[in-house]
Amino acid sequence: MKYKKRRVKIDISLSRDEIHILEGVIKHGTHNARVITRARILLLSHERKTNTQIVKALECALRMICNVRRRYQESPSILEAINDAPRPGQPKKITARHEAFVVATACTDAPEGHNHWTLPELKRVLLSKYKKIRSVSDERIRQILLASDLKPWRESMAEPRIC
């Protein structure tokens, strides 16, 4: 006969500093709604409220309360317990080397038939030089140039340019 694994009750006792931090999260700043709910769960747990009372007060799932208490117990700081872990996201396709190439190219003379470098032309040159890059948007090229304070679409080649 199999027995269900019984959950161990996690008691939450917060220090004054932790209470102050959680109240600050709830009352001030621009925090995510999930973070504020987690802070409220910890404060209510500190006040010895039961899971059912917290569910009624915050209208959250019972499992969330257990998860927040467990995270508090396992985390070294109160902020790690209530904040989400960073998410990796998609890796960058355009590296610093590619960005440097775009900036260096924009500082050269304009291609034949053009008065200045256009975003599509810079994009074409980048894609032809680096075959591993499948695509890049004109907007990304524009952002690279703006980060280097370059605006070739506003400058004429008649004026000397310092790069």
Question: Residue 110's pLDDT is what?
Answer: 85
Residue 11: pLDDT over 70: yes
The alpha carbon dihedral of 75, 86, 16, 65 has a sign of negative
10 Å Cβ neighbour count for 114?
12
Question: Is residue 66 a contact partner of residue 108, using CB atoms and an 8 Å limit?
Answer: no
pLDDT of residue 36: 95
pTM of the model: 0.57
Supply the pLDDT for residue 153: 65
Give pLDDT tens digits for 68-123: 999 999 998 999 999 988 888 888 889 999 999 999 998 888 888 888 888 999 99
Distance (Å, rounded) from C-alpha 92 to C-alpha 124?
19
* Confidence at residue 3, expressed as pLDDT on a 0 to 100 scale: 66
Share of the chain above pLDDT 90, in %: 60
Cα–Cα distance, 119 to 139 (Å, whole number): 8
CA 151: distance to chain centroid? 28
Considering only CA atoms, give the Rg of the chain. Answer: 27
Structure-token pair, residue 45: 């747990």
